Amino acid sequence: MRARSTMAVAALAALVLTLPVTTASAAPDTVAVSAASAASAGATAPAAFVPLKISRILDTRTYDQTPLRRPRAVEAGETFGFPVAGWSHHPPQELTAVPDDATAVVVNVTATDTTAEGYLTVRPDTPDQQGTPVTSTLNFEAGQTVSNTATVALAPRGTNRSPRISVYNSAGRVSVVVDILGYYAPSTPQRPSQKYDPVRPTRLADTRVAGGRLGWGGIVTADVAREDLGTADAKAVVLNVTAVDPSTGGFVVAYPSGTELPYQGSNVSYGPGRTVANQVVVPVGADGKVKLFNTGSTDLVVDIVGAYGPSGHNLYSAVTDQARVLDTRYGSGAPAFSTLRFPVAGVAGVPDNATAVTLNVTATEPQAPGHLEVFAADEAGRPGTSSLNFEAGQTVANAVTAQLGGSPGSVDIHHHSAGSTQLLADLTGWFVQG
């Protein structure tokens, strides 16, 4: 991540991003939805997306990027609420980036300076969102820096309050960094919002195949506005970006081609020897491209999963109470080299006509290294991309935006690993045509 202080990261065993891939997968197993998903999740009104160039709205390590006006860690069991606004302390004031009518925000959340193994949950900052949550956003180990993207519903604005979200820390002391990527809101003539269309997951770049390993200052340029993908007029895109087998610590920041590198903000944080993926939402440059700037030594893989633009068809509703819709710990887990199918439409309030969903997918208790590939059910073969990477014994989460397929609308998760793994999926929202 982009940091003002240096943090030592323990070296970890390398993880290969892609084990041998075949174009056809075995018949998917049907996975029973866990009891934890029985309650319906409330949701915001459907809205379109307004992309923002990445900017920092919280850094608990520094006085000038926290509403407390002093640095401090988030304690174990604490729910830390804050406005989705930047800060100026000369004079003290909020630098609002999100309007009052916004329904949800998309943020990149980073945990660093961690002192114990635990997790963070990002959720609305409301009185009923207190106590221990039933879902999680990202998992961390002691001494680890880790990031994940989250879409969070916003509560109605109170008197003299900007829209707010909160982060819950389960264990130890954690410094928290939050960068805003965009928000959902009704479209107005002064603020044209963009509708979403899913894209069959497609690999755009892989430095292991072309371009070579990146060093400090290395840049990958991805052509994302393309007729063949149906994204020719895209104003923002949803990517899955993976740092593969880094030899140093570092971070990656995505930004529109033709613009300056952002002064602050990061999308993917990595340490030596650990392959890390993160979902990235980034505006598209005037030339139809995005750039990814790297600070360490790593290979980089870029997959596209969706786009926002004027020809898009889908509006988004964020859940106000995140719900767990998959938990294989209730059964035997995901077997080696298996494809698991689970229905999402009609579950936890997801409407039957939903076209895509946003999930936080977690792999835990893996017996061997591997990766997950998440895609619409009933697609003809696997896309050959990746959504999340893990090592044996590691718990890893990543945000996933997945198109729904089949009837009822369902998602396939291909588990590409030589051992079994437990899989969890938490619902954060859905898209419908509108």
pTM score:
0.88
289 Cβ contact list (under 8 Å, min separation 6)? 221, 222, 223, 224, 225, 257, 258
What's the pLDDT score for residue 381?
A: 85
Please state, rounded to an integer, the average pLDDT across all residues of the chain.
87
Residues 198, 306: Cα–Cα separation, whole Å:
4
pLDDT in tens, 178-194: 999 999 998 888 888 89
Is the N-terminal amide bond of 124 cis, ω within 30° of 0?
no
Instruction: List pLDDT tens digits, range 52-69.
Output: 999 999 999 987 677 767
Residues 6+ apart with CB under 8 A from 91: none
Portion of the chain with pLDDT greater than 90, in percent: 72
For 359-385, what is the mean pLDDT? 94
pLDDT for residue 30 is more than 80: no
CA gap 81, 198 in Å, rounded: 32
What residues form DSSP beta bridges with 76? none
Average of per-residue pLDDT across 11-36: 36
Look up residue 313 and give its DSSP letter: -
Question: So what's the pLDDT on residue 174?
Answer: 97
Instruction: Summarize pLDDT for 298-352 with one digit per residue, the tens.
Output: 999 999 999 999 999 999 999 998 899 999 998 889 999 999 999 999 999 999 9
Predicted local confidence at residue 129, as pLDDT: 72
Report pLDDT digits (tens) over 75-116.
Answer: 999 999 988 876 555 555 556 678 888 999 999 999 999 999
Q: What is the pLDDT of residue 20?
A: 30
For residues 76, 80, 84 and 89, what is the CA-based torsion angle, rounded to 10 degrees? Answer: -100
Q: Are the C-beta atoms of residues 367 and 392 closer than 8 Å to each other?
A: yes
Confidence of residue 379 (pLDDT cuts 50, 70, 90): confident
The tens digit of pLDDT for each residue in 261-270 reads: 998 899 999 9
Residue 157: per-residue pLDDT:
64
Q: Are 47 and 278 in contact (CB under 8 A)?
A: no
Residues 6+ apart with CB under 8 A from 83: 57, 67, 94, 161, 162, 163, 164
Place of tokens 């990517």: 239
CA angle at 54 for the pair 205 and 169, rounded to the nearest 5°: 100
Listed range (25-39, 272-286, 367-381) with the worst mean pLDDT: 25-39
Query: Each residue of 117-156: pLDDT tens digit?
Result: 999 999 998 877 778 888 999 999 999 999 999 999 997 6
The span from the CA of 337 to the CA of 14, in Å, is 20
* Number of neighbouring beta carbons within 10 Å of residue 168: 23
Percentage with pLDDT > 70 across the chain? 86
